[in-house]
Chain A
Amino acid sequence: MKKKVFIVLLVFIMIFSSGCWDRVEIEENAFVFGIALDVNKERTEKEDIEKGEIKPFYESDKGAIRTIFTVPIPSKMKEAGEDAFESIEASGENIPSCMRVIERKINKIIYLGQTKMCVFTIDMLNNKQYFMDAVDFLERDPERNRNMKVAAVNGSIDDYIKVKHYLDNNLASYISGIFQVGSKECCIISEDLTELEGTLRSSKGNAVMPCIKITDGKAEVRDLALIKDYEFYQMVDQKYLRGFSIISNKLKKARKLVKYDDTIIPFYITGVKTTVHLEDKENLKYKVTVKVEGDIESFILDEEISKEGKIEEIKSNLAKSLTMELSEVMDYFQNSIGIDYLKIGEYTKKYHNKIYEKYEDNWDEAFKKAQFDFDVNVEIRRIGTIR
């Protein structure tokens, strides 16, 4: 009995005399909601400090990258004013050194566990080294939120910060909200950090990133930034994105315009199912079967849509238009871009591994030469409340 008491006392003394190391009060934490990364343009000369012999100091005031953390001020968030959040800027060699700089300036601890949004500028993407450093840091840190969205910014980072965030009280939730809602309702591609890391790794440096275009202080999500070999490669125009999503089977809902008689009718796609089949194993001929279903949103006022043949006509017009669209998208990706971002390679690897192994080393060439046939089937389910 005495021994027990002794041991327990010893343990208690040990615990209490050393303190609680990890206890961080919630108000001491600066919750970073958004990270924006950019290359520091002030550093014009390429100080190749990475090369050469070991130096004692690697930190410099003119860092290689600029990071801007958007941090909310909790007490002001309740009033939801313009200045409910602060942007804190720092520059350093990589993200951790930026964080060290910031910690000397603010009275709270930087906390990445609640980050919603991480944005790269196109300049940053152009710089392979910095981009890879940033992604590696985001992957390795156990604290940060894996569900944060990533995007590329077409413009400068200062414009991004000044963007007017309608309908929300801070920029990061506004932008990430666009992604969240948009990926379900209209055709926006939203990318998690997890997905980005996964694609970068599995395809050795190829990935896609949605792009935010800033014009006149307003943000719009459009276009897609393609990354090849961990570097920015090309921008894909918005009009190809619908086809892109359909072929990669990511589309949830979208709208398409179709011609009927002499008017353009909007068609609201509610469901898409795409399957890819390898038809000809020798010559890499693929057949892509697309099943689309959706609703008609508006029609000609003085005509009845439920009359004979009208639905069929709209359907066949849609099918034709969609087939042409998909062929054009595929053509664009095969010829203008020349790299397989549509996950055709993954499909081949999964279902026809032996064939993939033949072309594994130079899959992009094989992709360029592959032929694709599209078989589109459109169903119109609902037409609204009027006949």
Chain B
Amino acid sequence: MISDNDKISNYQLNIFVILTIIEIGMAALPAILVKEVKSDAWILSIITGLVNIPFLYIVSKAAQKTSTQGFVGCLKSLFGKAAGTILAIPVLVYFLFMVGLESRLFGETVKMYFLQRTPIEFIVMPIIIEAVFLAKGGIEVIGRFFEAVFFPIVLINVLLILIAIPKNDFTNLLPVFSADIKEYFSAIIAGSNSFFGYELLLIISPYIKEPKKMFKTSTKALLIVTGFYTIAVILNLGKFGVEETKSLMFPVIALAKAIDVPGSIFERAEGILMAVWVLHVFTTMAMITYLYSVVGAEIIGHKGIKHIATLYIPVVYLFGLLGNSVVQVFKNINMVGATLGIYTVIILPLLILIASYIKNKGGSKG
């Protein structure tokens, strides 16, 4: 029997953050960056990753405050019961939207490349249900799943990267620093959406074994994600060049389609890519499902997260069906990320820190 069942070790936290951040948005990331800054896209992805580190710092410091009472509990104690609950509701809505839009966008890619005639509802429904199944088991089961899946994911990703390297024209990465500072800023804002995901620290901090090391571990994870994204952008630029990448909707998937490994059993690597992608998307969705069921349960005061997760399936499904076309879905994601995302990731942790600082000061004085 293994003791300390419910606590998440550093290694597990690392994997959580990595797998939660990498989601379907990454497939479109090179196009988004290249549209703004052309051939500096790979520098931009590094910079966007680094820019997210101070936000990560704020989030982890705020997470340390929530580690005793849980997320909603901490909000309630800092701001009072009513205000705390009101502050927590946008977070819940953000997570619901994220799962819905994620599943929808993923469904669109699957439909576009693989199952053209299958109705999108049937593509999206099974993966939402499976995410709920996993989230029902609690953080321990999620941790085991992520760990078990991590190794094959890394292996296949490395394999894909290796077969994408030949026939790449890496001189497409030049010229460097050819864009203006203004374009840099707009690219950072556009690309940051793909780097969000570390807000999970706020909610699972009660289960972390070593809260003091939260920041270090998550930074390591964020850097790994940044490296991965940068490699994807570099490979894309090398294969297609600036103009082509700008025009593709999902450059990463098109890259997998364009890989040519003559003489192998699989001429098209996109099957392998989609297999790995299902795992990436599923891990993100399962984690966010767990997060919203925890927040939802705490808001209502209910103990069993399983019921909340199951209850919200129709809501998530409907949120996913909101956009009318693929273009609309992209716009929705940007909108949600710009409003609720920034609230959850930046504003709320800041509020938590400020409020706890004031309270501490007040407390020590009084």
Residues of A within 8 A of B6 (CB): none
The smallest beta-carbon distance between B127 and chain A, in angstroms, is 12
A75 at the interface (CB under 8 A from B): no
Q: Give the number of A-B contacts (CB < 8 Å).
A: 55
Question: B243 contacts which of A11, A15, A201, A351 (Cβ < 8 Å)?
Answer: A201
Closest Cβ neighbor of A139 among chain B residues: B247
Residues of A within 8 A of B115 (CB): 21-22
A336 at the interface (CB under 8 A from B): no
Residues of A within 8 A of B240 (CB): 194, 198
Flag if B258 contacts A353 (CB, 8 Å). Answer: no
Residues of B within 8 A of A147 (CB): 258, 260
A142 at the interface (CB under 8 A from B): yes
Assembled-state Cα–Cα distance A143/B112 (Å):
9
Closest Cβ neighbor of B244 among chain A residues: A198
The smallest beta-carbon distance between A162 and chain B, in angstroms, is 30
Closest Cβ neighbor of B267 among chain A residues: A147
Interface residues of A in 91-135 (CB under 8 A from B): none
Flag if A353 contacts B243 (CB, 8 Å). Answer: no
Interface residues of A in 56-83 (CB under 8 A from B): none
The smallest beta-carbon distance between A340 and chain B, in angstroms, is 16
Q: Interface on chain B toward A: helix, strand, loop, or mixed SS?
A: helix
Given known contacts A21-B117, A142-B112, A147-B258, A201 and B175 CB-to-CB distance under 8 angstroms: no
A197 at the interface (CB under 8 A from B): yes
Number of chain A residues close to chain B: CB under 8 A: 20
Closest Cβ neighbor of A193 among chain B residues: B258
Residues of A within 8 A of B244 (CB): 194, 197-198, 201-202
Residues of B within 8 A of A353 (CB): 174-175, 178
Interface residues of B in 155-198 (CB under 8 A from A): 171-172, 174-175, 178
A-B contact pairs, 23 of them (CB 8 A): A7-B129, A14-B125, A15-B122, A18-B119, A18-B122, A21-B117, A21-B118, A21-B119, A22-B114, A22-B116, A142-B113, A143-B116, A146-B258, A194-B239, A198-B241, A201-B241, A201-B244, A202-B243, A202-B244, A349-B174, A350-B171, A350-B174, A351-B175
B-to-A contact residues, CB < 8 Å: 112-119, 122, 125-126, 129, 171-172, 174-175, 178, 239-244, 247, 254, 257-258, 260
A-to-B contact residues, CB < 8 Å: 7, 11, 14-15, 18, 21-22, 142-143, 146-147, 194, 197-198, 201-202, 349-351, 353
**For the complex of A and B, 6 pairs with smallest distance between CB atoms:** A350-B174, A353-B175, A201-B243, A202-B243, A21-B117, A22-B115
